A and B are shown apart, each in its own frame.
Chain A
Amino acid sequence: MLLNKSIKQLAELLQAKKISSVDLVLESLSRIEKLNPQINSFIKVKEKKELLKIAERLDQSRNKDSSVLHGIPFSLKDAYITRDLQTTAASKILHGFTPKFNATVYQKLIDANSILIGKNNMDAWGHGASNENSDYGAVKNPWDLSRVAGGSSGGSAASIASHMVSFAIGEDTGGSIRNPASFCNISGLKVTYGRVSRYGAIAYASSLDTIGPMAKSVEDLSFILEAIAGKDQLDASSSQQKVDQYSKFLGQDIKNKIIGLPEEFLATSIDPEIKMAIEKAAQELEKLGAKIIPISIPTAKKAISIYYLIAASETSSNLARYDSVRYGQGRSLFSDENCRRIILGTYALSAGYADKLYKNAQKARTLLIQEYEAAFKKCDVLLAPVAPILPTKLGELINNPLQNMLADLYTVTINIVGVPSLAIPAGFSKNKLPIGLQLIGKKFHEGELLQLGYAYQQVTTWHQQPASILKHAK
């Protein structure tokens, strides 16, 4: 077994010629063949023959200057445009769509010589927190096949948790990287808005969409982020801020870091086991020398309304382009969840309602930004749970649209404000379901989050626990 190892370990073994990228590709394909029928985390897997050819070429071209990602297998959420490879956003509207260009994030990863294995299942157009709203079927949780993997990047999280690939790229508009990372016991980073180019990413809500890495550990995330972050001429909203060498932050001590615990994120009817895990994590960070202080973000209580008014409005506009003229099939193929969000957004933007709904949400967005700014004057980062609930049974959320939205309660404010947030494993419930925490930072302070997350992962073993399906698979 190789894909249980970290990116750094794999890179060292590859450099020493103890293993090859051909070995990695073969292991990836064999695990997908064995487990994907149960998990359903891939919509499209590339041809074996083509993958082996790429792996052989990369094995030959490897030298001492090769990138740490050279020859490492990964997958992409199917929200990223890939030249001559089907891209669907998990909607039948785009079934068979084969784009003619590459998303920047994908181009950067193939420039770093990583190997794309395939495209991951997701909630169609990013609409969902459970990955049940996919026209390609729900993704099942590798920890319990009767439960959801989280969403919307559920396929990516489940693929990493079941060691089908080394890492994946997800998209986070209101929690879509962090929620499935938490449900599947992996690590995921929602970056600062503009840190990673959105060129070639299928848009859900343009002022909230962010692109980020998902992997088994914080260390892995830092290497991936180094490869994908930065200004892109093809995306005017990508930031010119200098890209840090994120792996340099790892191992630096976290003494005297001030961590704020926002009371609103632990007060509303949160699952008591999750609350306990977060409090234990706070103690763990305290032992490492951090200081914990209480913080208040009062408007966070209204986060779901603010977020869904903005996100639905933007998605109603973004999805208007799917008219079946240039690509894709007709609009009758939008799912019920897609239709609800389009109708909600159109309503919130329509004359007579826009002032009370959309504009109020945009004003409330300002309040949240101000409250986060005030919080970050008192502390370096915030610590919070990722989700108020444990992974639900399949069918529970998809049949209750409002409850589906409420699962995003702790993740959406971060997108509204535009700051980064790192989701990492923080324990398990009594019935062995994963619990995740998030560390939320100031804009462009991804390095600080990775530093703290790495320190936490040096003294905990939650992230090393293999998913149940891997134990049964042996």
Chain B
Amino acid sequence: MPDSGILSLVKTAKISQDLVQKIARLAALNPTQKQLQTYQDNLDEIISYMDEVKNLNLESVPETARVLEEENIFRDDEVKTENMFSQKEALANASRTYQGYFVVDKILENKEE
């Protein structure tokens, strides 16, 4: 196993269980208490390891988001029927539909309710 020695060096908690729970909620995940504990342990170890990126001398280095050198890729603005879904095809894999629409959960509460 490579670099396993580094794991024993880090034991201070970098990420609390509350924070893991908060992030999970942001990502629309709903872990059980047991999973939260496991994720906290795992992520603590992983994030401690990743602290090494802070030690690189990066001050004057620009960020890279993509490696392609091509820019401004355009295509003609025309309808291509062969790449279009019919309404039936678009809805084919939806678990809930209603009269040709996707059904989603309500996310806004009515004040009076």
Contact = CB atoms under 8 A, between A and B. Distances in A.
A331 B29 contact: yes
Contacts of B61: 363-364, 366-367
Interface string B26-62: 1111110001001100110111011011101010011
B104 to A, nearest CB: 5
Given A240-B70, A331-B28, A344 B47 contact: yes
A336 B53 contact: no
Interface string A316-334: 1000100111111101101
B92 A305 contact: no
Contacts of B63: 359, 362-363, 365-366
Interface stretch (A23-31, A214-222, A397-405, A446-454): A397-405
Given A325-B102, A343-B43, A350-B26, A305 B50 contact: yes
Contacts of A233: 75
A363 B58 contact: yes
Contact of A347 (B2, B23, B56): B23
B16 to A, nearest CB: 12
A306 B7 CA distance: 17
A356 interface: yes
A334 B31 CA distance: 10
A340 B50 CA distance: 14
Contact of B56 (A342, A344, A364): A364
A402 B45 contact: yes
A417 interface: yes
A101 B58 CA distance: 44
Nearest to A97: B93
B65 interface: yes
A194 interface: yes
Given A331-B29, A359-B63, A305 B52 contact: yes
B81 interface: no
A6 interface: no
Contact of A329 (B19, B66, B85, B95): B95
A401 B65 CA distance: 26
Residue among B2, B24, B56 with the highest chain A CB neighbour number at 10 A: B2
A343 B42 CA distance: 11
Contacts of B62: 363, 366
Contacts of A401: 42, 45-46
A101 B108 CA distance: 34
Contacts of A316: 27
A236 B89 contact: no
A52 interface: no
Given A101-B83, A364-B56, A406-B2, A344 B46 contact: yes
Contacts of A365: 63-64
A207 interface: yes
Interface in B1-27: 1-4, 7, 15, 19-20, 23-24, 26-27
Residue among B30, B46, B52, B85 with the highest chain A CB neighbour number at 10 A: B46
B4 A326 contact: no
A268 B53 contact: no
Contact of B3 (A100, A269, A339): A269
Interface of A: 97-101, 193-194, 207, 233-234, 236-237, 239-240, 268-270, 299, 302, 304-306, 308-309, 316, 320, 323-329, 331-332, 334, 336, 339-340, 342-344, 346-347, 350, 356-357, 359-367, 369, 388-389, 401-403, 405-407, 409, 417-418
Given A316-B27, A346-B23, A407-B2, 5 more contacts: A237-B66, A268-B3, A340-B43, A347-B15, A401-B45
23 contacts: A97-B93, A101-B85, A194-B70, A207-B65, A207-B66, A237-B73, A302-B56, A305-B52, A323-B28, A326-B90, A334-B29, A336-B35, A344-B47, A347-B19, A357-B50, A363-B56, A364-B56, A364-B58, A365-B64, A367-B56, A401-B45, A402-B42, A403-B1
Q: Which 6 A-B pairs have the closest CB atoms?
A: A418-B67, A362-B63, A327-B93, A305-B50, A363-B58, A100-B89
